[in-house]
């Protein structure tokens, strides 16, 4: 018999950037564990494809959202609530990378673009989530789990990625601050820090023999991470098994950071 707290039946999970990559890996595991799953992504066609995959396990819907836009997020959260009735877990995963030639040559517009998705997007998403969860708690139905996707860049130095690293450090700090303020409503808030994961975001590095030789050989697990490597942490954090686990950082990197 399966360990009962991991059963997500009756729970609703929202994953931003859930139509591909790490977000889809998390969404698929959540659906398999019994959750109803809403995904947000910019591309409606990709959303439809992911929802077709997730619907094998239960109710799933996709929403075309740009998380960098406040109104888009608030409208999508309201639509998600209308369709699902509640939201228990929100995984703020949508993010972009944008390498710059160097810090000195980093265009201001690249810096602002990365901040708008990776930081504003997480802020808008989790603020909408907290408004719902606090109201629900005040009506006698407390609880919820909030997850922010950060990166090893939050705790290590990322050359040519100061903009990206700054957003990920901010996500770690935001999750801790949310955790402290919302614990009274039965809410946990945690950050997940992926290492090198084979997704569209890292396509350039996956094509590089130099990268394979210099970086991937330093991963103790001796391989790229995969989206499905994030299924376990998603289910754990969405489940009652993590009800006393808040304000933490989960590094999922095949051991890269400690080698
Ligand atoms: P990906 O590029 O495969 O997928 C990104 C997802 O975010 C897509 O679903 C896309 O539609 C969505 N997205 C991007 N901008 C959006 C916007 N403005 N509004 C709504 N959705 C938007 O990326 P991947 O690798 O799956 O990354 C997921 C998260 O993990 C990101 O926050 C990323 O920074 C983080 N991460 C990824 C690592 C990696 O090695 N792939 C390493 C460390 C962190």
- Residue from 164, 236, 244, 256 carrying the catalytic annotation: 164
Percent of the chain at pLDDT above 70? 100
- According to DSSP, the residues that pair with 89 across neighbouring strands are 13, 145
pLDDT class for 50, splitting at 50, 70, 90? very high
Q: Whose CA is nearest to atom 8 of ligand 1?
A: 17
* Confidence check: pLDDT of 1 > 90: no
pLDDT class for 121, splitting at 50, 70, 90? very high
Percent of the chain at pLDDT above 90? 98
Identify the pLDDT of residue 74: 98
CA of 24 to the centre of ligand 1 (A): 10
Q: Which domains does the chain have, with CATH numbers?
A: 4-253 (3.40.50.720)
- Cα-only R_g, the chain: 18
CA of 194 to the centre of ligand 1 (A): 11
pLDDT digits (tens, 9 = 90+) for 57-100: 999 999 999 999 999 999 999 999 999 999 999 999 999 998 89
**Is position 3 annotated as part of the catalytic site?**
no
């Amino acid at each position: 018999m399966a360990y009962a707290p991991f059963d997500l039946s009756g729970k609703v999970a929202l994953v931003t950037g859930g139509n591909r990559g790490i977000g889809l890996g998390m969404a698929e595991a959540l659906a398999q564990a019994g959750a109803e799953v809403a995904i947000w992504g910019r591309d409606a066609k990709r959303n439809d494809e992911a929802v077709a995959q997730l619907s094998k396990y239960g109710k799933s819907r996709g929403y075309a959202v740009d998380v960098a836009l406040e109104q888009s997020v608030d409208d999508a959260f309201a639509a998600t609530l209308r369709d699902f009735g509640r939201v228990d877990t929100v995984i703020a995963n949508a993010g972009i990378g944008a390498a710059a030639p160097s810090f000195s040559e980093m265009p201001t517009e690249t810096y602002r673009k990365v901040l708008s998705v990776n930081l504003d997007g997480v802020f808008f998403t989790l603020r909408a989530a907290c408004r719902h969860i606090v109201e629900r708690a005040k009506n006698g139905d407390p609880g919820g789990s909030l997850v922010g996707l950060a990166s090893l860049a939050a705790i290590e130095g990322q050359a040519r990625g100061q903009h990206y690293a700054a957003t990920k450090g901010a996500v770690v700090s935001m999750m801790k601050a949310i955790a402290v303020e919302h614990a009274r409503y039965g809410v946990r808030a945690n950050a997940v820090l992926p290492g090198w994961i084979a997704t569209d975001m890292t396509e350039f590095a996956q094509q590089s023999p130099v990268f394979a030789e210099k970086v991937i050989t330093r991963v103790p697990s001796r391989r790229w991470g995969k989206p499905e490597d994030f299924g376990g942490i998603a289910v754990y954090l969405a489940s009652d098994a993590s009800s006393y686990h808040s304000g933490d950082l989960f590094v999922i990197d095949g051991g890269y950071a400690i080698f």
